[in-house]
A and B are shown apart, each in its own frame.
Chain A
Amino acid sequence: ILNVEQSPQSLHVQEGDSTNFTCSFPSSNFYALHWYRWETAKSPEALFVMTLNGDEKKKGRISATLNTKEGYSYLYIKGSQPEDSATYLCAFNSWGKLQFGAGTQVVVTP
Chain B
Amino acid sequence: DAGVIQSPRHEVTEMGQEVTLRCKPISGHDYLFWYRQTMMRGLELLIYFNNNVPIDDSGMPEDRFSAKMPNASFSTLKIQPSEPRDSAVYFCASSTGLAGDTDTQYFGPGTRLTVL
Which residues of chain B from 77 to 111 have any CB-CB distance to chain A below 8 Å in the complex? 91, 98-110
User: Total contacts A to B, CB within 8 angstroms?
Assistant: 50
Contact of B105 among A2, A51, A98, A102 (CB under 8 A): A98
For A98, what are the chain B residues with a Cβ–Cβ distance below 8 Å? Answer: 45, 99, 105
Interface residues on A, range: 20 to 34
Interface of B is mostly: loop
Count contacts on B: residues with CB < 8 A to the other chain.
22
Assuming the contacts A93-B99, A97-B45, A101-B42, asked whether A46 and B105 have C-beta atoms less than 8 A apart, the reply is: yes
**B interface vs A, CB < 8 Å?**
4, 41-45, 48, 56, 91, 98-110
**A residues adjacent to B (C-beta < 8 A):** 2, 31-32, 34, 42-46, 49, 51, 89, 91, 93, 96-103
Q: Cβ of A42 and Cβ of B109 under 8 Å apart?
A: yes
Q: Chain A residues near B103 (CB, 8 Å)? A: 49
**How far is it, in angstroms, between the C-alpha of A32 and the C-alpha of B102 when the chains are bound?**
10
Chain A residues whose CB sits within 8 angstroms of the CB of B48 once the complex forms? 97
Interchain residue pairs A-B with the least CB separation, the first 10: A43-B107, A96-B98, A51-B101, A100-B43, A46-B104, A93-B99, A102-B42, A44-B107, A43-B109, A98-B99
Are B99 and A97 touching (Cβ within 8 A)?
yes
A89 to B109, CA, bound (A): 16
A31 touching B100 by the CB < 8 A rule? Answer: yes
Known: A34-B104, A46-B106. A96 touches B99 (CB 8 A): yes
Instruction: Taking A98-B105, A100-B43 as given, write out 5 further A-B residue pairs in contact, using a Cβ cutoff of 8 Å, ordered by the A residue number.
Output: A31-B100, A43-B108, A45-B107, A97-B45, A98-B99
Q: Judging by beta carbons under 8 Å apart, are B110 and A43 in contact?
A: yes
